[in-house]
Structure 1
Amino acid sequence: MSAMTLSHHAREASFWRVLETGACYLLGFLWILPLFYAVWMAVHPPAYEVRFELLAPLTLQNFVDAWNAAPFARYFLNTFALITTILVCQFVICTLAAYAFARYEFPGKTVVFMLVLIQLMIMPEVLMVENYRTISRLGLVDTVLAMGLPYMASAFGIFLLRQTFLTVPKELDDAARVEGAGPLAVLLKVYVPLARPVYVAYGLVSVSYHWNNLLWPLVITNSVTTRPLTVGLQVFASPDQGVQWSVISAATLMTSAPLLIGFLLFQRQFVQSFMRAGIK
């Protein structure tokens, strides 16, 4: 009877495992289907946008047309400058703030940290009007710096790094100080190397968000010379040119390719970092 019960439980567990696997494959297929459709339209002539043929002719002309329809080189340069500036500032500011919250005691520490956490509940769009007024008073409207200035610090980054720094044994601090290291040297030589996977994961999150951010760059920029990729893609939705889905798909793939490649390269560090930080 016991053997039959175990066999029944084993079959039941196997059934649920197969069901879960099938559900995962189904969700994966639903996720990849729009991407596959975009790739299909991008590498085939416009006549095959809604017609599937195994021997349909391939072409790269859609990518050429998309590249020539807008100053993509300038858009890529602006976007890379924006992402790099934001990421460097966030790493510096979030690292210093997280280290202070994790290892120093000062009056009002809990209150200040709660104020940082409250920032996670405020949507950036709520502050857009005040941010625009501030940027306008500074005379920075229609600049790359204006697009990145409201995001130079990140409450999420501070919280994530603080959680990681709290897991570092204090004995490492004492050992480094015995060797004559100062507070900044301890941070750079002990904490930062141990938190490298977290920096990779946070960097991917930050880059993905600001790479796809549209509303704030659209509000704060006026000229082609300062627009990022997300705003530049609007040229393909012009009513004068009509909607060319093959060209739009090619342009979208060109703008999203760096993000996809980056995630594929660092997906293991991305998952491991959140596990180490205790984030569910």
Structure 2
Amino acid sequence: MLRNKLKISHAFIYMLALVWLVPLVWVISTAFRPKQLALQPGLSLEFTLDNFARVWAAAPFAQYYVNTLLIVVCVFAVQMITATMAAFAFARVRFRGQNLVFLLFLVQIMIPADVLIFPNYNVLKELSLLDTKLGIMLPYFASAFGIFLLRQMFKTIPPELDEAAVMEGCSKWQVLWKIYFPLARPSYIAFGLVSVSYHWNNFLWPLIITNSVENRPLTVGLAIFAQSFETGAQWTEVSAATLMVIAPLLAGFLLFQRQFMNSFIQSGIK
């Protein structure tokens, strides 16, 4: 009986996976189809790369790629430093009001980022950081999720390692970067995946504060490109542009799927 239930649940999961794949397969198929065959039903052996050439020439996607990579890398680098230091303080340093402060960090996880758009916009306006890459990155330099994830990981590390390191003459800073940082590698991988995927796909905040090509990320550039056609829906060009935006994340997942799953499992993410 249990085996039959498992088979039914597995079949249901596979069906959901197939349903999820339908839009992706359609985008990939349409991106490589000639324009005259874009909306024709059925499979076709004809394919072309002209759609990608037209898209690349019609919009500054090279600049969008550079902007997005810079934003994603810088945000994750700063988050890694701030989250590591805060998590270590919550896990190993005792101070008055520690539990209350940590509770406030947990509350922040439950607050949607969109709720803070208006106050963040006013702050950046006062700092003259509107329409800048730094303005896009600044609200995300601290991550409550990253602090919580790393704090839980740090608490699983035996405190005897701290005592042994201190006896060897290590400071707390050396203990953090020579012991905790290497041992928490699975959690850093998991947090990196969440951070990179979120900021690569982030759309609303960059759309609100950017007005120039020099600062727009891929998601905003794709939206403007899709709305730039005056008449008709250019499905082949839009599909090609969409595939160009999602291709790096999709390729990364396909290449490192096992490492992705292992990192989330070891980090305790359900």
How high is the TM-score relative to the length of structure 2?
0.95
| Unpaired stretches in structure 2, ≥5 consecutive residues | none
Match of 2:121 among 103, 127, 132: 132
CA RMSD of aligned residues (A): 1.5
Q: Could you tell me how far 1:55 is from its partner in structure 2?
A: 4.3
Aligned partner of 2:152 in structure 1 is 163
Q: Could you tell me how far 1:100 is from its partner in structure 2?
A: 0.3
Aligned partner of 1:278 in structure 2 is 268
Residue 14 (structure 2) pairs with residue 25 (structure 1): yes
What amino acid is aligned across from residue 79 of structure 2 in structure 1?
A: Q
Q: Aligned partners of 2:257 and 2:104: how far apart in 1?
A: 31
Match of 2:97 among 98, 102, 108: 108
Q: Could you tell me how far 1:19 is from its partner in structure 2?
A: 1.5
Moved more, 45-54 or 217-226: 45-54
Q: Aligned partners of 1:109 and 1:228: how far apart in 2?
A: 38
SS in 2 for 1:255: helix
User: Any conservation in 1 of the 2:190–2:267 contact (CA below 8 Å)?
Assistant: no
Aligned partner of 2:225 in structure 1 is 235
Cα deviations by residue, 1:120-153 (Å, 9 ceiling, x for unpaired): 1111111111111111111111110000000000
Matches within 5 A, 1:57-96: 57-96=46-85
Q: Aligned partners of 1:117 and 1:267: how far apart in 2?
A: 29
Q: Aligned partners of 2:30 and 2:268: how far apart in 1?
A: 42
| Unpaired stretches in structure 1, ≥5 consecutive residues | 1-11
Aligned partner of 1:261 in structure 2 is 251
Q: Could you tell me how far 1:45 is from its partner in structure 2?
A: 0.8
What amino acid is aligned across from residue 246 of structure 1 in structure 2?
A: T
SS in 2 for 1:114: helix
Q: Could you tell me how far 1:170 is from its partner in structure 2?
A: 0.8
Cα deviations by residue, 1:174-227 (Å, 9 ceiling, x for unpaired): 122222211111111111111111111111111111111111101111111110
Q: Aligned partners of 1:274 and 1:263: how far apart in 2?
A: 13
Identity, % of aligned positions: 51
Aligned partner of 1:37 in structure 2 is 26
Q: Aligned partners of 2:76 and 2:205: how far apart in 1?
A: 17
Bigger proportion of residues as helix: 1
What amino acid is aligned across from residue 35 of structure 2 in structure 1?
A: P
User: Closer, same or farther in 2 for the Cα pair 1:143/1:174, shift >3 Å?
Assistant: same
Match of 1:248 among 238, 241, 251: 238
Q: Aligned partners of 1:133 and 1:227: how far apart in 2?
A: 20
What amino acid is aligned across from residue 116 of structure 1 in structure 2?
A: F
Q: Aligned partners of 2:210 and 2:119: how far apart in 1?
A: 16
User: Any conservation in 2 of the 1:63–1:251 contact (CA below 8 Å)?
Assistant: yes
SS in 1 for 2:13: helix
User: Any conservation in 2 of the 1:63–1:247 contact (CA below 8 Å)?
Assistant: yes
Aligned partner of 1:5 in structure 2 is none
